[in-house]
Amino acid sequence: MRCVPALLLLLALAGCGGGTKESAGTPTRPAPGPAEGAAPWPAPPNPMELTRKAGLTPETHEFVNFHVHAHLDVFVNGEPVTVPAAIGIDIADPAVKKFKEPDGSTAYGGISPPCAQPCISPLHTHATDGVLHTEAKEDRPNTLGEFFVEWNVRLNNRCVGGYCKPMAPIAIYVDGGLYDGDPRQIALEDKEEIAIVIGTPPTDIPSSFGGG
């Protein structure tokens, strides 16, 4: 019977050291729904105004002197959030063409001849595939912060939209690695994968362009 106290002590120590561990920076509990600013976030109705607010210059058509494709995934409690088509594009302009995608959604672009007035940002989305296009005259990388201004969704060290720490766990990954800086400063590079995880994470966090 003398071994019983020792056994109990070992069990107690094991209990103290057990439990579920978070992988570095990965949220493991659900994010509560915010009072305002909850996903989904539609494409805003004033794209050229927001382009200028982001510090970018809208154009009358696409330029591909500097052409970069980055990919953005956003998850809230394990569910994907659609990155809308036509962020940074004035789809009301008659020069902006519409294309039907295989999934039934609509993509926008192919501006030729040019719009009569500026109608497209050098940073934009054509479709709902999460691809962020930089199509610019000059070799100037865009940032994730500029894109979120164009999307009209709050992004900073604490918040994504209406989800804010500490109530809502938030983690951001670049090419599968945890990013702990200011997310607004992430440069959008070609074939880069950015994943924003709010609350409970998905089964797999994308680590390469297009997921996977």
Read off the pLDDT of residues 71-114 as tens digits, 9 standing for 90 and up: 999 999 999 999 999 999 999 999 999 999 999 999 999 999 99
Higher per-residue confidence, 134 vs 7: 134
Task: Determine whether 44 is exposed, middle or buried from the number of CB atoms within 10 Å of its CB (0-12, 13-18, 19+).
Answer: middle
Task: Please report, rounded to a whole number, the percentage of residues in the chain having pLDDT higher than 70.
Answer: 86
Q: Among positive and negative, which fits the CA dihedral 7, 10, 16, 22?
A: negative
Asked if residue 6 is part of any domain, the answer here is: no
The answer to the question of residue 9 being in a domain is no
Whether residue 28 is contained in a domain is answered as no
- pTM across the whole model: 0.86
| Domains identified in the chain, total number | 1
Answer left, alpha or beta for residue 45, where phi above 0 means left and psi between -120 and 50 means alpha: alpha
* Domain of 77, in residue numbers: 37-198
